[in-house]
Amino acid sequence: MSKIKFVIVSICLFYITVGNAADLEKIIEKGFIEFAVYENFPPFSYKDDDGRVKGIDIDIGKAIAKKLGVQVGFRSFLADESVNDDLRNMVWKGHYLAGDPADVMLHVPYDPDFANQNDKVAFIQPYYKELIAFAVNTYRVRSAMTLEVFTKEPIGVETASLADAYLLGAFSGRLRENVKHYLTIAEAAKAMVDKEVSAIMANRGELEYSLGQYEHDFVITKLPTPGLTIEGWELGAAVNADNVKLAERLNEVVGELKSNGQIEKIFSSYGISHKAAESSQIIIKANQSSAAK
């Protein structure tokens, strides 16, 4: 067998034999839990100037670990082509470059239909509801706030985002020339402060955090978005579906952190208003007979 073929076979075998993340007993026994978090995703998970990982999801992970009485670690990863891929790589299978799955993945969409597409994953109750929103400079946009305003006023979006795709096609493309693209919401926020754009369409949490770095009089609000089928989504955590006890305990812990106000305080510390997810469903698995009650 050639060296190249040997390496390829070795990689494939490693990928196939990646082990499962630890269930609750093993985590308690080793005294350590690892969370997978998205890389470079402020305010949820990012590195500060000293290279230390921080953010809302980091603080939530630390709070969960404290409740479990164990030490905590974080594995930052770049988003793959879809959340399904991220769940495969970080929750139930692993990756030949990244290694075994983490024990828990944070910032995971919480939705029964999505869960049914991922039967190897158990979804923990949500800790946040994200919304599509608009930051608007009301000194420049004085007329009735509808999207038609942006046939004349420039509006910023993050390149290749949901907002980008929506605005480019809205009103039969009439807004296209006034849609300004930025690599990040932070760059769009600076452009708005510098009066390059009159508004930004993005996730509410990212808008609040990015504009919170400046003193401003902008309003963050919702606008009518005809044809936009997704206006918000709940976010929670996910574990390997085989780790039933871990899923049950994490659900209890997240519920406690929500009810005692600790999660709300974490969001507030980053300048983000926390909207409690309205759902009594606890753990969503594929093929469950009922959705949230």
- At 128-176, the pLDDT tens digits run 999 999 999 988 887 667 899 999 999 999 999 999 999 999 999 999 9
Q: Which residue has the higher pLDDT, 10 or 30?
A: 30
Reply yes or no on whether the pLDDT at 102 is more than 70.
yes
122 shares a domain with 17: yes
- The mean pLDDT of 205-216, rounded to a whole number, is 94
Q: Which pLDDT belongs to residue 275?
A: 66
Q: Which residue has the higher pLDDT, 51 or 291?
A: 51
Question: Is residue 285 assigned to a domain?
Answer: no
- The mean pLDDT of 182-193, rounded to a whole number, is 97
Q: Which pLDDT belongs to residue 289?
A: 36
- The mean pLDDT of 58-73, rounded to a whole number, is 98
Reply yes or no on whether the pLDDT at 279 is more than 80.
no
41 shares a domain with 100: yes
107: three-class secondary structure by DSSP: strand
Least confident of 29-33, 96-100, 221-225, 267-271: 96-100
**Residue 136 contacts residue 192 (beta carbons within 8 Å):** no
Question: Is residue 47 assigned to a domain?
Answer: yes
Question: Is residue 281 assigned to a domain?
Answer: no
Report how many domains make up the chain.
2
Q: Which pLDDT belongs to residue 19?
A: 44
Reply yes or no on whether the pLDDT at 2 is more than 50.
no
Express each pLDDT in 234-258 by its tens digit.
999 999 999 999 999 999 999 999 9
Express each pLDDT in 11-22 by its tens digit.
333 333 344 567
Reply yes or no on whether the pLDDT at 217 is more than 90.
no
Question: Is residue 291 assigned to a domain?
Answer: no
Reply yes or no on whether the pLDDT at 118 is more than 70.
yes
Question: Is residue 106 assigned to a domain?
Answer: yes
Distances (CA, A) of 127 to 54, 74, 82, 274: 17, 18, 21, 9
250 shares a domain with 118: yes
Token pair belonging to 285: 């698995």
Print the domain residue range for 260: 3-129+233-269
79 shares a domain with 42: yes
100 shares a domain with 41: yes
Reply yes or no on whether the pLDDT at 292 is more than 90.
no
Question: Is residue 41 assigned to a domain?
Answer: yes
78 shares a domain with 145: no
- The mean pLDDT of 202-208, rounded to a whole number, is 95
Reply yes or no on whether the pLDDT at 274 is more than 50.
yes
- The mean pLDDT of 43-52, rounded to a whole number, is 93
257 shares a domain with 194: no
Question: What CATH number does residue 162 fall under?
Answer: 3.40.190.10
Phi-psi region of 60 (alpha: psi -120 to 50; beta: other; left: phi over 0): alpha
161 shares a domain with 143: yes
Token pair belonging to 116: 């049914």
264 shares a domain with 201: no
143 shares a domain with 124: no
Average predicted confidence (pLDDT) for the chain = 86
Question: Is residue 201 assigned to a domain?
Answer: yes
- The mean pLDDT of 49-71, rounded to a whole number, is 96
Least confident of 114-123, 225-234, 275-284: 275-284
Question: Is residue 274 assigned to a domain?
Answer: no
Q: Which pLDDT belongs to residue 168?
A: 97
62 shares a domain with 200: no
Report the predicted TM-score, pTM, of the whole model to 2 decimal places: 0.85
Q: Which pLDDT belongs to residue 216?
A: 85
5: three-class secondary structure by DSSP: helix
Least confident of 1-10, 25-34, 96-105, 118-127: 1-10
Q: Can you tell me the distance from the alpha carbon of 94 to that of 120, in angstroms, rounded to the nearest whole number?
A: 12
99 shares a domain with 153: no
Specify the pairing of strand 232-240 against strand 128-136: antiparallel
Reply yes or no on whether the pLDDT at 266 is more than 60.
yes
Rounded to 10 degrees, the C-alpha dihedral 219/222/227/231 comes to: 120
Q: Which pLDDT belongs to residue 94?
A: 84
